[in-house]
Amino acid sequence: MSQSNIPTVYNPREVEDKWYQHWEEKKYFHAEVERDKKPFCIVMPPPNVTGQLHMGHALDNTLQDILTRWRRMQGYNALWVPGTDHAGIATQAKVEEQLAKEGLSKYDLGREKFLERVWDWKEQYGNRITTQLRRLGASCDWDRERFTMDEGCSKAVLEVFVRLFEQGLIYRDYYITNWCPHCQTTISDIEVEHLDKPGQLYYIQYLSKDDPGESIIVATTRPETILGDVAVAVNPEDERYQHLVGKKVVLPIVGRELPVIADDYCDPTFGTGAVKMTPAHDPNDFEIGRRHGLPEVRVMDKHGRMNEQAGKYQGLDRWECRKRIVQDLEALGALVKVEDISHAVGHCYRCNTAIEPMLSKQWFVKMQPLAEPAIEAAKDGRIQFVPERFTKIYLNWMENIRDWCISRQLWWGHRIPVYYCQDCREMVASAEPVTRCAKCGGAVEQDPDVLDTWFSSALWPFSTLGWPEKTPELEHFYPTSVLVTGRDIIFFWVARMIFSGLNFMEEEPFKGVFIHGLVLDSQGRKMSKSLGNGVDPLDVIESHGADSLRFMLITGNTPGNDIRFHFERLDGARNFANKLWNASRFVMMNLADYHEQAQGGDYTLADRWILSRLQNIAAETTGFLEKYELGEAARVLYEFIWSEFCDWYIELAKPRLFGKTTPEDRVTAQKVLVHVLRETLELLHPFMPYITEEIWQKLPHRGETVMQANWPCPQEKFRDEAAEMEMALLIEAITAIRRIRGEMNVPPGKKAEVLMVAGDPRIQGILERNQAYVQALANAEVQVLAELLEKPDQAASAVTRGIEIFVPLRGLIDIEKEVARLNKELRTVEADLQRIHGKLNNQGFLAKAPADVVEKEKAKKEELSLKAAALKDRLAMFETKA
């Protein structure tokens, strides 16, 4: 193997596209059903077709890719199913934006033509994110890519709807939902972003009907909704209002008589303790209203304008109506006071419009019968959350779950398969199109709404494997092995997949739920367009390479916890890749005469040590992966590669590659280098697939690709605790000598005389047998002693593992110059200490300075005190004996 085909510098751009194209062309990611292999399956949380890769996607898919590549190398029948979500609101909004530029609306085209335009848009732009996932290195089975509105998934959606409908678990009713006046549809809770906004709290007086001297004061942030008030509620235990319960008060402006009702929901300590009831415009009021049989008066239309129920305010926008109502209340003397507050206001995540809780007729799924088995599956351990603390969060939500609103007022999506007879009003749910009424033969009309996007993604673990057909894939790969997802969608997606899988497959959809946190910016803030703090993964891949991005996202990552994005850590990951490349290049440059069949000599201590350490690292890496502690797995690999292999073993092997040694010794060093490097690359491959493939291919190897290599398993024949103990002792001693040389400014080229004193005969023997290692790596002439009769003058010393180390400095450095330098540095440090001491004794400074500034000064004082003590110790060393 010649040096010419090993580039001096690792260039990710030259490597990544080449290898990904090769892997995909060779179909290394593809999985057929192989019944003699144990299945491993992950379904990708489907990103929106409108989306582009962001750091959350990068983290989520890197974790999935690591697990899939690892299991594939372990010999599992590994399948990672990719796919995208049709993203009803977002995709329809994109196409409507295009139409608006043409001066058209969806109504100009009609439903059928509009949907044709959406499909055209999807074909043109919908593959953007899957192309970007390829750049990340995602080893998905792209032959099995799914889309929530492809033929198979759509069939599953319709089948599920009809079955739930026939089970009596789907119904239609009036209910409070999140309504977006701009998107003109209901939206799910996850699509509501709660933003802190400045606002006002208005205190309004409602006079008693029977006694004008008596009144109740309520507080509201939305005075425009008083037009829909139908009652005032108080806590039954609130003594202030007990005498009014059952009586009536008069609604200001409108004049409507409102009953005063008692309900435990009301908190006597919050606000005035009295709550206005607007069941058509507040979810809590709605629940109370249903309990007490209150009427539901809706005073706004779907555009957020006041309707005919609003009387003289009809036609006003809700914000303008608020201003007018406040003015009128003030004129009537009913406005008691107004307080400025900051409060969370729900906004549509797509258009940023303030959502309006609004009563409307929608389709719902009854959740209690579906939730009960899903609760039991988590309680009895059939589904395990990692970390375990998320089990409690999941259970708390499931045990308090409300019915699920599944209808959306859109055209893009799975249209609700319910048909209404135009003559006899018969209603039927059918997975197949219905053209005539089965009861009377009359014409039918299909429900205009579509299903919530989460309805289709709730079926993802089994619809992607072919359900409702009994496919070989469904039989072999279901239930899937693990779901990898962010902590922010446990309720909205994870829970729905669990109850859907249990209901339709009679088995949980996955065994484990691996929860990861969010990727925050360096200040710990969520990345967002409004803050302008987002980092584009594709820019990072372009500048640092996909492997560096992946490794940065993994290292320091613990299950369930958020991570901060630091460019310094990204640079560190790139430095690691370069370190690995340079070490590998060194190995390959010394293999020109290498032959696998050549006979080597005996293993040295260094050989036995590194081979034994490799077994431990293989075991640790596998153990951490089994526990989903991927960050820890990456850490042990990083430390082994950077320190033990690159910094120590390669240096220890150099004398046998370059020195006057036997051919057998050179062969042994080559064999160990190749073996350890190759297996290390195989362990690292799931984390950094590109660089490991590039190097592995250049090393002597068997097989076509590192991703099909056998996962390294610990081999007992290479375990050697004695070698590990001995080498650890030597490494500490060499490190101590190096530290002394550095601290004393000993020129690198000067050989030092070193005395090593070991009272323990066993340790003495280790040092004597391995003096060559110490001499080579510490640039020292070593003398090993059982005891020291007299401590040498002007010698730096250290103690490590029962070894006393002395390095006489005379002749190594200019002692007079060093003493002058140390004295100068000590004077500077003591001057700084005096200045800080003065500050901390200044009562004016302590009173005015922020607490963090004072703490920094105290920490600086501690640091300088330690430094001064160390400088004094060094100076004392140079004192000549009398």
Known binding-site residues equal: 529
Q: How are beta strands 356-365 and 404-405 bridged, if at all? A: antiparallel
- The answer for residues whose C-beta is within 8 angstroms of residue 568's C-beta and 6 or more apart is none
Query: CA-CA distances (angstroms) from residue 250 to 76, 209, 418, 588?
Result: 72, 6, 44, 90
Return all residues near 476 (Cβ < 8 A) that are at least 6 apart.
33, 35, 39, 77
Q: Is the peptide bond before 509 cis (omega within 30 degrees of 0)?
A: no
Question: What end-to-end distance do the CA atoms of the chain give, in Å?
Answer: 63
CB 180 within 8 A of CB 355: yes
Q: Give the contacts of 398 (CB within 8 A, at least 6 positions apart).
A: 371, 374, 375, 378, 495
Q: Which of 284, 318, 282 is nearest to 300 (CA)?
A: 318
Q: Which helix (H) or strand (E) holds 689?
A: helix 689-698
Q: Which of 433, 493, 554, 548 is nearest to 190 (CA)?
A: 493
**312 phi, psi to nearest 5 deg:** -70, -10
Distance (Å, rounded) from C-alpha 164 to C-alpha 154?
16
Q: What is the DSSP letter of 728?
A: H
- Contact in structure between 428 and 436 (CB atoms under 8 Å): no
- Give the pairing type, strands 215-220 and 407-408: unpaired
Q: CA-CA distances (angstroms) from residue 583 to 6, 116, 588? A: 12, 56, 9
Strand order, beta sheet including 356-365? 185-187, 170-180, 356-365, 404-405
> In this structure, how many other beta carbons lie within 10 angstroms of the beta carbon of residue 617?
24
Helix axes 650-658, 771-778, angle to 10 degrees: 100
Q: What angle do CA 461, 467, 471 make, to 5 degrees?
A: 105
Nearest Cα to Cα of residue 419 among 440, 391, 394, 388: 440
Query: What is d(CA 545, CA 18) in angstroms, rounded to the nearest whole number?
Result: 13
Run of H or E residues at 122: helix 111-125
Q: In whole angstroms, how far apart are CA 533 and each of 421, 507, 529, 574? A: 54, 42, 7, 22
| H or E stretch covering 453 | helix 453-457
- The whole-angstrom separation of Cα 519 and Cα 484 is 15
Residue 482's DSSP bridge partners are 512
- 708 within 8 A of 31, measured Cβ to Cβ: no
Question: 381 — phi, psi (to 5°)?
Answer: 85, 5
How many Cβ atoms are within 10 Å of 282's Cβ, its own excluded?
22
β-pair partners for 71: none
Lookup: tokens for 100 = 């608006």
List all residues 6 or more positions away from 789 whose beta carbon is below 8 Å from its beta carbon. none
Q: Supply φ then ψ for residue 841, to 5 degrees.
A: -95, 0
- Where is the binding site for ATP, in residues? 529
Instruction: Assess contact for 326 and 318: CB atoms under 8 A.
Output: no
β-bridge partners, 755: 783, 806
Report the largest interatomic distance among the alpha carbons of the chain, rounded to a whole angstrom: 121
Three-state SS across 472-502? HHHHHHCCEEEEEEEHHHHHHHHHHHHHHHH
Backbone angles phi, psi at 108, to 5 degrees: -65, -35
